[in-house]
Structure 1
């Protein structure tokens, strides 16, 4: 049973689609669309981080007693990605395709590495340790992630 892993990995893919839309708009120099697509991506990614940091990670830490383990590493990577989000947004505001492309590429690489760790290590650990809490946990994660869906659709 991989409910948490599948649920959160699906949200990773949704974030990826938003980033791809922004990159395609930048490639066409459609700055207005790029800003909108990037704003959707940024909001989706930040909501994903919030769902993990306020719901999933605290439950995992309480269940395992591991407060300085994988969740701490993930939080550190989230902070790094937040900085890159800000840099990419600034490049978009200046219509600087080169700066945006470099920052977005760095962000994408970090996201891919981060997602692999979550999907192959942390989420399976969560599925194992939090299986008895899924009935309450999944709706709470969905609620946090839906914050984006309600503002972007």
Structure 2
């Protein structure tokens, strides 16, 4: 069973939030996660007890419930497992519609949601190879994926 969480990061310390709970430790881990993404590096955390990978960071390991982690770099390559085309923009119009959001299965075995960039919506397909590309704006960092080549 997948646990879905929504994430936002405004670029100010202490502003990363994970929907569904968590304490100050998760905020610190998310700040570090998005700072790495801002610099073009995709990272995950590996449980020190059972070696399970988690991305984005979470407070406790889903496999063993331990709270001992180490940050590990990810290659950033993967395939589109599923996607949705958003045709009505969110309130505020910060993102123009239409655009696609995909669940990307990374080579390391973890999956992450991200926007699709630089791929025409009518060319996007399940199984398509993609590569991490951060969306970096003055007060916001986002996870996105574009063409692998």
TM-score between the two structures when normalised by the length of structure 1:
0.26
Q: Which has the higher strand share?
A: 2
Q: Which has the higher helix share?
A: 1
TM-score between the two structures when normalised by the length of structure 2:
0.27
For the pair shown, which has the larger CA radius of gyration, 1 or 2? Answer: 1
